[in-house]
Structure 1
Amino acid sequence: MYDLGFLLLGIIGLWLGTELVVRKAIILTQRFNVSSVFIGLSILAFGTDLPELIVAINGAIHNYQGIESSGVIVGNAIGSSISQISIIIGLTAIIHFLAAGKIQIRQLAVELIGAIILLALVAFDYVITWNDGAILIIAFLIYFITHLNRERTNKIEKVEEKSILLNTTSHILILILGLGIVILSSELTINRALKLANTWDVDQSFIGAVIIGLGTSLPELAISISAILKNKPGLSIGNIIGSNIFDILIPIGISSLISNIYIEPSILLFDMPFLLFISIVVIYFLSKKKGLQKKEGLGLSILYLVYVFLKYVLW
């Protein structure tokens, strides 16, 4: 219980630090009159995935130092993606129905399914090397640039300047503080996750996928609910799908540049196929005329619980 308590404290620190970074980054970009497109694609996309990225980098450094933590790195990235595409979207749909246009659904399907298949291909030999990681990063850059160009063809709204803003220095200092909290929390999270895996005699990927993965998905849940309250349900879909693509490609890709990332059989044989399955289910629900309703949201939430149960029992 001692290690679990510190692990949860680390996850809370990841969430708190990310909140500070995202909030202050948005205020700074508004101060310099940066477009809302840039904020959406850069600050929100990268900011909400900061926990997964820092945990992956920290884990890779542990790997480099001879402390094997590949299971936590990959488990967190895949587990976070599964929790976001299932229970996070599910809970959001229970509050408010979700829908998307046909063109958007087609684009999301190609990009998300393509990212999952690409990761499976580079991980097929149970190790992700420097070259594999470079492929993942290049694929994300292509996705990001394509998405940015696509958004530029639409009307770009100007972000209204705030009439009262604290001085820029204070925002930067708080942003740096947030980054520091995330980095320290990631170290605490990694260390306690490794200890718990040994104590509970379970794969590292179980701790990474279920406990850390769900915990690091809290920023996406917060943004999704906020979007619903602001009557912008489409933002929830875009944020979660974009976050999943980031989680699938970038944390594993960047960490593999530091050290080789080894894939546990359970990840390749169970977690990745489940992620592919649940992603197809979500795309199917979105393609329906009525979109994602409460019953579909409940179904996705139940599927996540099934995933956790099977993950624990089978692997």
Structure 2
Amino acid sequence: MLFAVGQLVVGSLLLLIGGEGVVRGASRLAILAKLSPLFVGLTVVSLGTSAPEMAVSVATAMQGQADITIGNVVGSNLFNMLMIVGLSAIVAALPVERQITYFDAPVMVAVCIAMGVVGYDGSIDRFDGIALLVAMVVYFAISYRLGKRKTSEDIEEFVDDVAGEPLAAPSWARSAAAVLLQLLILSLGVGALVLGCEWFVAGSVTFARYFGLSEAVIGLTIVSVGTSLPELVTSVAATLKGERGIAIGNAVGSTILNILAVLGVAATVSPVSLHVAPSLEFFDIPVMIGAAVLTWAVLRTHQVVTRVEGFVMVGLYCAYIAYLLIETV
């Protein structure tokens, strides 16, 4: 049992370190491609912080642990929408950009509903996975076009806040050495994620069996929280630095990509079945859809998320986790 706890702790640390490396490398590479800050936050950074979910979901799908695969996606999305936005708002009230309110948040609701639709027959097969990946490409394309008006100075300022240190000079940022360095950081981050997910999944499964918890519940709680640590760190750090829009952009973008990218890749690699845990299909996924609608409504309220709303969102997430644990016992 102690070894399983050690696996969870070490795995979480590796996921956190790996997620930071992926975010740092991806963000700085985005500068070289002259991508807009909002596009980087909603897609590149969100995809980077969703890498732990991707690693865990693909690994569990290939091992036939579909309940952990789906539970990880659903649980991570609930954590993104309720805990990350909520905690960030508690730190400081969050202003909401117009694009997020009128495009990205509705897309978030739509993809959550789409997950329920594609899984209505009890499984998410390869065709569903490919369809989700195609939808991701379309989302990327539209987000890029909407964000093309941002300037290169805004891009550099955005990445400085996310990556944690300023660029030495534009010429340095465009050099071949800089590209190689960021590729190395990105590669090391991915490596840490892969190793971390192996330890985390192994420890969580052992933990589940020892306490008699279902693997679905572990996926919805321990695994989803562990793989969402990069999103939490990125969003709270951005809020503390005054870049409060990044917190929402990262949470919304990660929620969208957890379904389109993470679940899409996992289902394409190995189709997943919801029959192994009916509660996922008939309770947890509907709860996720409800949370998405609630989050969108909160984001539309005066174009800001207040501290009071943040406390309510965190309270709802804690109530959901408490319900899962009570039902299991």
TM-score by length of 1: 0.89
Q: Relative to 1, partners in 2 of residues 1:228 and 1:205: Cα closer, same or farther, differing over 3 Å? A: same
Residue 298 (structure 2) aligned to one of 256, 281, 285:
285
Q: Which moved more, 1:268-277 or 1:239-248?
A: 268-277
Q: Relative to 1, partners in 2 of residues 1:182 and 1:103: Cα closer, same or farther, differing over 3 Å? A: closer
Please state how far the C-alpha of 1:314 moved relative to its aligned partner.
2.5
- Inter-partner Cα distance in structure 2 for 1:44 and 1:89: 16
Please state how far the C-alpha of 1:62 moved relative to its aligned partner.
1.6
Please state how far the C-alpha of 1:229 moved relative to its aligned partner.
2.6
Q: Relative to 1, partners in 2 of residues 1:33 and 1:124: Cα closer, same or farther, differing over 3 Å? A: closer
Residue 300 of structure 1 pairs with residue 319 of structure 2: no
Residue 55 of structure 1 pairs with residue 56 of structure 2: yes
1:1-315 equivalence runs, <5 A: 1-2=1-2, 3-30=4-31, 32=32, 34-37=34-37, 39-63=40-64, 69-101=65-97, 104-152=100-148, 154-158=149-153, 159=155, 161-163=167-169, 167-168=177-178, 169-263=180-274, 264-289=277-302, 291-315=304-328
Please state how far the C-alpha of 1:203 moved relative to its aligned partner.
1.8
Q: Which moved more, 1:250-259 or 1:89-98?
A: 250-259
- Inter-partner Cα distance in structure 2 for 1:151 and 1:143: 12
Q: Which moved more, 1:257-266 or 1:93-102?
A: 93-102
Secondary structure of 1:124 counterpart: coil
Please state how far the C-alpha of 1:101 moved relative to its aligned partner.
4.8
- Inter-partner Cα distance in structure 2 for 1:104 and 1:95: 20
Retained in 1: the 8 A contact 2:43–2:140?
A: no
Q: Which moved more, 1:127-136 or 1:21-30?
A: 21-30
> Structure 2 regions of 5+ residues with no counterpart?
157-166
> Structure 1 regions of 5+ residues with no counterpart?
64-68
- Inter-partner Cα distance in structure 2 for 1:274 and 1:85: 12
Q: Relative to 1, partners in 2 of residues 1:240 and 1:290: Cα closer, same or farther, differing over 3 Å? A: closer
- Inter-partner Cα distance in structure 2 for 1:301 and 1:228: 16
Aligned AA (1:14): L
Q: Relative to 1, partners in 2 of residues 1:127 and 1:96: Cα closer, same or farther, differing over 3 Å? A: same
Secondary structure of 1:59 counterpart: helix
Residue of structure 1 in register with 2:160 after alignment: none
- Inter-partner Cα distance in structure 1 for 2:134 and 2:35: 25
Secondary structure of 1:196 counterpart: helix
Q: How many residues were matched structurally?
A: 308
Retained in 1: the 8 A contact 2:108–2:252?
A: yes
- Inter-partner Cα distance in structure 1 for 2:105 and 2:47: 21
Please state how far the C-alpha of 1:28 moved relative to its aligned partner.
4.3
- Inter-partner Cα distance in structure 2 for 1:194 and 1:267: 18
Q: Which moved more, 1:154-163 or 1:257-266?
A: 154-163
- Inter-partner Cα distance in structure 2 for 1:55 and 1:199: 21
RMSD of Structure 2 on Structure 1 (CA): 2.2
- Inter-partner Cα distance in structure 1 for 2:29 and 2:100: 30
Please state how far the C-alpha of 1:102 moved relative to its aligned partner.
5.3
Q: Relative to 1, partners in 2 of residues 1:289 and 1:21: Cα closer, same or farther, differing over 3 Å? A: closer
Offset from partner CA, 1:192-249 (integer Å, 9 cap, x none): 2222222222221211111111122121122212322332222211111111000122
Please state how far the C-alpha of 1:36 moved relative to its aligned partner.
4.0
Retained in 2: the 8 A contact 1:98–1:233?
A: yes
Please state how far the C-alpha of 1:70 moved relative to its aligned partner.
0.8
Offset from partner CA, 1:248-280 (integer Å, 9 cap, x none): 222111111122201121111221111122222
Q: Relative to 1, partners in 2 of residues 1:289 and 1:25: Cα closer, same or farther, differing over 3 Å? A: closer
Aligned AA (1:244): T
Identity %: 29
Retained in 2: the 8 A contact 1:98–1:286?
A: no
Aligned AA (1:226): A
- Inter-partner Cα distance in structure 2 for 1:250 and 1:174: 22
TM-score by length of 2: 0.86
- Inter-partner Cα distance in structure 1 for 2:228 and 2:19: 11
Aligned AA (2:282): L
Retained in 1: the 8 A contact 2:26–2:45?
A: no
- Inter-partner Cα distance in structure 2 for 1:55 and 1:248: 14
Aligned AA (1:120): G
Please state how far the C-alpha of 1:297 moved relative to its aligned partner.
0.6
Q: Relative to 1, partners in 2 of residues 1:40 and 1:83: Cα closer, same or farther, differing over 3 Å? A: closer
